[in-house]
Structure 1
């Protein structure tokens, strides 16, 4: 150690200059060792104040106590329980020296003779960060020691250097914390989750490793109703419930929005992971008080397993994500465990979404038509346009395979416009050759199209461009669409009526939700849902519903069409009760444009009931 106090301070500053969060403890310990030697004391310690918990926390000491117990009683000392010396350090602003009392000649003679004494002296120097006391630097002498003003001033300078190091370490640790934690909930973030799973899935680690993917159902309703501040509070409450309810040192991460992932610390099989998911789901279902409202939201959970050395982090999270999508697509509030079938479904969906982006431009779409027949005569009175997709590798796909994906990527409107234009063009071409002039082309309309501004004008334009007269085009809307936005629907339907466009309610009877609106909406046709037609002739319950719909159509003067007629018994039952128009496999399957024109040229289908 240097001989002068100035050089002591300079030496300490040099040692502390390169201290980081990782090295600060060792560097501070070396500084304390040098100071103990220079000042001729027996013990030195450095402690920091944690004002959030009102405690003094040990940073470094010299010499290190042998046989430190676990837990160390000096590691954290709470000020409320501390002796007066510790308690003073909470807000100390100036150095304080404690010496044996009284300092008598007899006491001094005892020290000079080298005899053991019980008394000690101490110097405590506060670490200051502005007006806040951030810690204390202490020195203990077994016996008496007089501290000069020059020494205390040097220690104040050293304490200031240590306070700067402590502030730098705190800032570094805060940055590290923020890098690994979500700022809203305090849970781990995606980065920390990925790092944790990389370690857990390394070769040789115990497995299987389970991941539970949580996705809240309809959080948007809270954001829309009470605002995003309420939504954030709701998420924080649920995050805290996950902390309390999870077993042991479980890793819980928020991926963003309303998505969380829970990774149990111990290996567990699918059955145990599913049981944990069900228990956590129940804990999250409890009501939350926000702005005087008692709110709750269900949660969908996907469970997946990964084997260390075999599965990667991306493999495990992809499976958990696929499982939670399955849970949500099943209506939400479900727990789904990943299966290989989910992987195949997801692969199919991704393939569809990838190729669907350019399906209109590529010319891969085409229309098939399902004839609508008067079962009394076999006359073809209408045809329903049904879109098909000639997929590059999967062959001819029906709408069930891709319409849902189209809606999820906001392509339903574009597909609907293509169907409208193409159906009008093909129907007009047939009519120009003298076929189907007494028939109607029926075109399905998505909810997106119906509420899109300018929809009526686009329909009028498609008819005018192809020279189709009023009454030749009928748009089909589902019963649920009618009541979703009744005012917008009424305005749109009124506009279509003025343009000479017919309107049919498709899948009628699935909820009777449009009954109260029938008298005020310009509807021309009801189409009985196939679920009530399939078992006609054998199910008296279906017959009762069909008879009620037939009576309803008669009361309102509406045309009636039965969907899904596949058996002779169903056809005869419909005819017997006054429903004459139908479509279904008993009469004809959907056929391509060419055969449809040929069928129109013939004018009828042979029926023999």
Structure 2
């Protein structure tokens, strides 16, 4: 029974985890058990029967109290097994009590007592078994929970390791990205001025951890030109005014002393009172970006060949110069420089040599001007020099400009060593003065350009100032050109006809002369618009209109008995004659109108004929085969050779009016006229004199064998209706 009780106590303490859950109760139980066992040992030593009784009694009390206490603790901890355990304890108490009473003799030890004890033990054992099974299930569930917790813990550990690995990779990628981007981070403390920086940033500055990591130590690494402004910016604008850091500046790397451009960005952190604590930020190396920006700027504002400012930059500086002139009252000047015969150099020696010449010219021009002046290249062989801060008075400024212009002329006239060649080149320079914004910038350049062309007309290699009258002429010319184009589009031209006749007034033909009836100004002289049409190329559509209109007039004349015999002469310009399809155009006009080809006469000048003589002869013969006749206009004013003249299918020579005008009072002129008449007769050509205005001139021509005349003596140029009326009267 004693062994049973002790084992029960041990089982109960382990069963209920009393050591973990109720350490005080466990100490009391152990203390009581120890005292009881000690007392029992003494009693047994004195009296075995009394000892047995004391053992039973002590065990009963101790067991009862222990079991009750343990059962209550189990129930309070919500352990279902504690209920079974408490009931089993009650049965154990009954068995223990009966045993004690039997030992003391207070209760007879008979069958009933024996079986009661036996059944009590059985019931107690059963209840304890149930409690043990229930506790076992709880332990299995707890073990499962521990297993689940262990799995969860393992999973959390794995996830944490994975997160740590991802973080490590992310940090590595960030470091690589910062290294590639040249980006480093920093923290600048406001109070102490301490500077914390990443390894990447230290590498950017070329320093290590031994360098002084303070604001002053950091400022010492900045470019001397940027250092004062950056120090003031950080102390006053960032820390002082509470702004964020955002500034581009230069640094001088420690060690190799390399200059680098960087961009600093930082966020200011303040305390609750708004006082600055520190700046968190980054600094990035932007040197390559700056180099690219400089290259873009150079390409945008500078000429790639000579490295001089281009037109865009020149116009920007000219705008600034005009504003400066308005403030100071001092004049400025533009010199427009064009190299004479530069195209010939390019064509003969090649573009490489031409480029080398342009580079040498740019250096000489730069050496001729002051530091504040500008030398620009507009393109090709055109340069512009802008002079600033000249005299306040126009004459003084002009004298200063002329001095610099002569210096440029002298410098550019020096020989140029172009590889194996020693080349000589000259410039033509046009100059114009400016003061304030009286004229637009484009207008100033135009004035200098006009003056430059005047220098070329004056023989090249010289300097000319812009003349306002010259500008007026050019403006009028531009208006005339615009009007000419408008006239072609709106059919404002008409043909007038001047009689060609024998000395007795018999009409043999006429010359068609173009007239421009301008609505705004009236009749415009051909001397004004024909040269302009030649220069602008408008002579081609104009000449085609004359050809078509003349053929239409011939067709109308062929329908009348009075005019069907007339030949009509038209002037053909060199540009028109040298059109690739000129012969075809004439043929088409003839075919369209159906006229007799020999009624159409084309007047050509000597210069036209002599320009590519072989091609001229071919075309003239092609048209002559059709029946078209040719007359050489203004004969005697050019340099025709008799050998060339013989090859041409010319049917008529026209004596220029400059010879006819003086035949009565200039012996030399009279001799020339006589010679032309004799030569034409000997070559079998018809001869006609133009510009016959007096009877004396007519009589001289008749006397020396010139059968045909044209001039005011016989009739002025007039519209077709008046011309036909003149024919009827004569």
Separation in structure 2 between the aligned mates of residue 219 and residue 285 of structure 1, nearest angstrom: 13
Separation in structure 1 between the aligned mates of residue 573 and residue 444 of structure 2, nearest angstrom: 36
Partner of 2:363: 240
Partner of 2:478: 350
Separation in structure 2 between the aligned mates of residue 275 and residue 381 of structure 1, nearest angstrom: 65
Which residue of the other structure, out of 292, 295, 298, is the alignment partner of 1:177? 298
Separation in structure 2 between the aligned mates of residue 276 and residue 446 of structure 1, nearest angstrom: 44
Q: 1:466 to 1:258 in 2, by over 3 A?
A: same
What is the TM-score normalised by the length of structure 2? 0.59
- Return the offset for 1:169: 3.1
- Return the offset for 1:441: 0.7
Contact 1:507 1:529 in 2 (8 A): yes
1:114-170 superposed Cα distances (whole Å, 9 cap, x missing partner)? xxxxxxxxx73354xxxxxx789xxxxxxxxxxxxxxxxxxxxxxxx89x4444333
Contact 1:208 1:307 in 2 (8 A): yes
The answer to whether structure 1 residue 125 and structure 2 residue 256 are counterparts is yes
Map of 1:484-495 to 2, 5 A cutoff?
Answer: 484-495=611-622
Separation in structure 2 between the aligned mates of residue 545 and residue 361 of structure 1, nearest angstrom: 44
The answer to whether structure 1 residue 190 and structure 2 residue 311 are counterparts is yes
Which residue of the other structure, out of 363, 371, 382, is the alignment partner of 2:499? 371
Contact 1:207 1:306 in 2 (8 A): no
Q: How many residue pairs align between the two structures?
A: 489
* 3-state SS, counterpart of residue 304 of structure 2: coil
Separation in structure 2 between the aligned mates of residue 239 and residue 388 of structure 1, nearest angstrom: 49
Partner of 1:511: 638
Separation in structure 2 between the aligned mates of residue 169 and residue 280 of structure 1, nearest angstrom: 36
Contact 1:188 1:254 in 2 (8 A): yes
- Return the offset for 1:389: 1.8
* 3-state SS, counterpart of residue 390 of structure 1: strand
1:407-444 superposed Cα distances (whole Å, 9 cap, x missing partner)? 33332211111100101111221231223333211111
The answer to whether structure 1 residue 311 and structure 2 residue 439 are counterparts is yes
Contact 1:301 1:335 in 2 (8 A): yes
Q: 1:534 to 1:329 in 2, by over 3 A?
A: farther
Contact 2:321 2:388 in 1 (8 A): no
Partner of 2:511: 384
Map of 1:88-103 to 2, 5 A cutoff?
Answer: none
Contact 1:436 1:601 in 2 (8 A): no
Contact 2:331 2:388 in 1 (8 A): no
Partner of 2:197: 7
* 3-state SS, counterpart of residue 688 of structure 2: strand
Map of 1:157-172 to 2, 5 A cutoff?
Answer: 164-172=285-293
1:423-479 superposed Cα distances (whole Å, 9 cap, x missing partner)? 111122123122333321111111122122222122122223323223211101111
* 3-state SS, counterpart of residue 371 of structure 1: strand
* 3-state SS, counterpart of residue 597 of structure 2: coil
Partner of 1:130: none
Partner of 2:538: 411
- Return the offset for 1:291: 7.5
The answer to whether structure 1 residue 550 and structure 2 residue 671 are counterparts is no
Contact 1:210 1:303 in 2 (8 A): yes
Q: 1:487 to 1:338 in 2, by over 3 A?
A: same
- Return the offset for 1:46: 6.9
Q: 1:217 to 1:438 in 2, by over 3 A?
A: farther
Unaligned runs of 5+ in 1: 17-27, 48-57, 65-94, 96-122, 128-133, 137-160, 604-609
Contact 1:36 1:44 in 2 (8 A): no
1:13-59 superposed Cα distances (whole Å, 9 cap, x missing partner)? 9xx9xxxxxxxxxxx9xx9xx97664997995678xxxxxxxxxx87
Q: 1:194 to 1:472 in 2, by over 3 A?
A: same
Q: 1:508 to 1:260 in 2, by over 3 A?
A: farther
Separation in structure 2 between the aligned mates of residue 210 and residue 481 of structure 1, nearest angstrom: 43
Partner of 1:563: 690
- Return the offset for 1:493: 0.6
1:265-315 superposed Cα distances (whole Å, 9 cap, x missing partner)? 342644654565455446545565657666556544333222214223123
For the pair shown, the structure with the greater C-alpha radius of gyration is 2
The answer to whether structure 1 residue 527 and structure 2 residue 654 are counterparts is yes
Q: 1:287 to 1:565 in 2, by over 3 A?
A: farther
Q: 1:237 to 1:431 in 2, by over 3 A?
A: farther
Separation in structure 2 between the aligned mates of residue 555 and residue 272 of structure 1, nearest angstrom: 65
* 3-state SS, counterpart of residue 377 of structure 1: coil
Partner of 2:724: 597
Partner of 2:333: 210
Q: 1:260 to 1:517 in 2, by over 3 A?
A: same
Contact 1:204 1:309 in 2 (8 A): no
Range moving further from structure 2, 352-361 or 419-428: 352-361
Separation in structure 2 between the aligned mates of residue 561 and residue 287 of structure 1, nearest angstrom: 54
Separation in structure 1 between the aligned mates of residue 507 and residue 422 of structure 2, nearest angstrom: 58
Range moving further from structure 2, 438-447 or 592-601: 592-601
Partner of 2:377: 254
Contact 2:339 2:426 in 1 (8 A): yes
- Return the offset for 1:589: 2.4
Separation in structure 1 between the aligned mates of residue 415 and residue 716 of structure 2, nearest angstrom: 52
Contact 1:532 1:546 in 2 (8 A): yes
Partner of 2:59: none
Contact 2:196 2:213 in 1 (8 A): no
Q: Which has the larger share of helix? A: 2
Range moving further from structure 2, 583-592 or 240-249: 240-249
Map of 1:41-120 to 2, 5 A cutoff?
Answer: 44=220
Separation in structure 2 between the aligned mates of residue 528 and residue 296 of structure 1, nearest angstrom: 44
- Return the offset for 1:245: 4.0
- Return the offset for 1:569: 4.7
Which residue of the other structure, out of 384, 388, 396, is the alignment partner of 1:265? 388
1:498-547 superposed Cα distances (whole Å, 9 cap, x missing partner)? 01111112122223244441011111222223333333333333334333
Q: 1:541 to 1:208 in 2, by over 3 A?
A: farther
1:170-195 superposed Cα distances (whole Å, 9 cap, x missing partner)? 33333323322111222221111111
Q: 1:438 to 1:212 in 2, by over 3 A?
A: same
Q: 1:410 to 1:204 in 2, by over 3 A?
A: same
* 3-state SS, counterpart of residue 471 of structure 1: helix
Separation in structure 2 between the aligned mates of residue 492 and residue 44 of structure 1, nearest angstrom: 85
Separation in structure 2 between the aligned mates of residue 275 and residue 508 of structure 1, nearest angstrom: 48
CA RMSD of aligned residues (A): 3.8
- Return the offset for 1:61: 7.1
Separation in structure 2 between the aligned mates of residue 452 and residue 218 of structure 1, nearest angstrom: 27
